[in-house]
Amino acid sequence: MAGGLRNIIGALALAVCAIVGAAGAQEFRALARLDLARSGIVDAGAAVEITLGISQPIPFRVFLLDGPPRLVVDFSELDFGAAPAATLGASRAFTALEWGLASPGWTRLIAHLAAPMAVTEAWESTGAAPQIQVRLEPVSAEEFVASAGAPVATRWQLPKAAVVAAPRRRQTGEAPLVVALDPGHGGIDPGAEAEGLAEAPLVLGFARELKEVLTRAGMRAVLTRDEDTFVPLEARMSAARAAGADVFLSLHADALAEGEAAGATVYLLAAEASDSASARLAERHDRGDLLAGVDLAGHDDEVAQVLMQMARAETQPRADGLAVALQAAILGSGLKMHKKPVQAAAFSVLKSPDIPSLLLELGFMSSTADRKRLADPAWRATMAEAISAALQAWAVVDAAEARYLRQ
Ligand SMILES: [Zn+2]
């Protein structure tokens, strides 16, 4: 039984991946160039490593094909330049190299293999000198045939899923409330930027301040990222789950072109966005994962999605309740909220089936008034106290309901 349950949780984790949408995929355009001076091929014992220096991080995927055996690396519009692929270098493992346009928007590197190999690493680093690295090691012909045909890089790009034995049991007020604070963006994805302010460091700073306030109020707060690094959406949810979070709160301060978006806004998960601005916000956040080369398309599992919907049926009303509590506390503290304070959109980061999850836009970078507020320590302190009060008020009601349901 326990094994079966674990399989279901595994399936749920896959379904979460499946929904991290392809919506933004079509629009993403990078104009990255290959830097031959930082690129090359190195034989390391029986293994071989390909390093590609690139001018900027781009989506990519790696897979093996049979007949003849070859390694394929697809890039979202990487410009190889005029030199032939052989300029990259040579290896005992490769009989020939090719590169060129694969399909509109995608370019491809092909390495023909002298013997069967497996991809053991495929990674993109995103610092000042971004590069993509692929490592291959010899395998048996049977192993090669078993792994050839499907894109494999996404497996390495994904973080290890947290080990979860059972769905999170609802909090009943007997232990401190565990709050996962999720500062949006980070690393190669700075989020919204306006007049020298960037969303990623701003929401990280606020998350640290909020953590202190929640800790003083007797809660246990954990951050899904505590540095300026890129954290994929799925890893954020895994971190919350591993910490045993009772609540997941994603913190943002985005920009909207409309010019009318101002004031804090609470976002709930919904299949349908409440308006086109909300839909664009949700799409933009999913695109962050593409930036890091995490292509989650193709992980579809209908059964798992049905299971997830069942879990959500209990979780969603609890998230709704928290949204109402947040609205009351924020407005009650005299802070400005958006003219529609609670909205809905298909934010992938909110798709944990068993943890009530909300996304809070503290304000909008596109609004001059909001930027002033976001930069004001007194405003941030008042906002942090309001969130703390909302969580405490909600937790009491939520725990009472859990105890009632249990009887
Ligand atoms: Zn954001």
Q: Sorting pLDDT into bands at 50, 70 and 90, what band is 47?
A: very high
What's the gap between Cα 238 and its chain centre? Answer: 10
- Ligand 1 centre from 348 Cα, in Å? 12
Task: Say if strands 264-269 and 337-345 run parallel, antiparallel, or are unpaired.
Answer: parallel
What spacing in Å lies between the alpha carbon of 366 and ligand 1's midpoint?
12
Is the per-residue pLDDT at 166 higher than 70? Answer: no
| Dihedral Cα 322, 343, 161, 230, nearest 10 deg | -120
Q: Is the pLDDT of residue 156 over 50?
A: no
pLDDT tens digits for 117-150? 988 887 777 677 888 889 999 999 988 888 787 5
Ligand 1 geometric centre to CA of 176 (Å): 28
Q: Which residues contact 279 (CB under 8 A, 6 or more apart)?
A: 273, 345, 346
H-helix or E-strand spanning residue 372: helix 368-374
Q: Which helix (H) or strand (E) holds 75?
A: strand 70-76
- The DSSP secondary structure of 253-287, one letter per residue, reads ----TTS---SEEEEEE-SS-SSHHHHHHHHHHHH
199 C-alpha to ligand 1 centroid (Å): 7
Find out whether 352 and 224 touch, Cβ atoms under 8 Å: no
As a whole-number percent, the residues of the chain with pLDDT over 70 amount to 78
- Identify which has the larger pLDDT, 405 or 199: 199
Asked if residues 387 and 326 have their Cβ atoms less than 8 Å apart, the reply is: yes
pLDDT above 90 (res 82): no
If you measure from the C-alpha of residue 390 to the centroid of ligand 1, how many angstroms do you get, rounded to a whole number? 22
Q: Rounded to the nearest whole angstrom, what is the distance from the C-alpha of residue 2 to the centroid of ligand 1?
A: 38
pLDDT in tens, 198-225: 999 999 999 999 999 999 999 999 999 9
Highest mean pLDDT among 4-8, 37-41, 296-300: 37-41
| pLDDT of the residue at 214 | 98
Three-state DSSP state, 205? helix
Q: Please tell me the distance from the alpha carbon of residue 384 to that of residue 323, in angstroms, as a whole number.
A: 15
Per-residue pLDDT, averaged over 280-292, amounts to 65
Domains and CATH numbers, the chain: 31-157 (2.60.40.3500), 178-406 (3.40.630.40)
Nearest to residue 319, comparing CAs of 274, 355, 265? Answer: 355
Q: How confident is the model at residue 21 (pLDDT cuts 50, 70, 90)?
A: very low
Mean pLDDT within 93-103: 87
pLDDT tens for 252-264 read 998 887 666 789 9
Residue 237 in contact with residue 349, Cβ under 8 Å? yes
How many angstroms separate the alpha carbon of residue 261 from the centre of ligand 1?
Answer: 14
Measured between alpha carbons, how far is 115 from 95 in angstroms, rounded to an integer?
9
Q: What pLDDT score does 198 carry?
A: 92
Name the token pair of 359: 């996304």
What's residue 261's pLDDT? 78
Determine the average pLDDT of the residues in 219-241. 88
Per-residue confidence (pLDDT) for residue 94, from 0 to 100: 96
Report pLDDT digits (tens) over 333-344: 999 999 999 988
CA of 231 to the centre of ligand 1 (A): 13
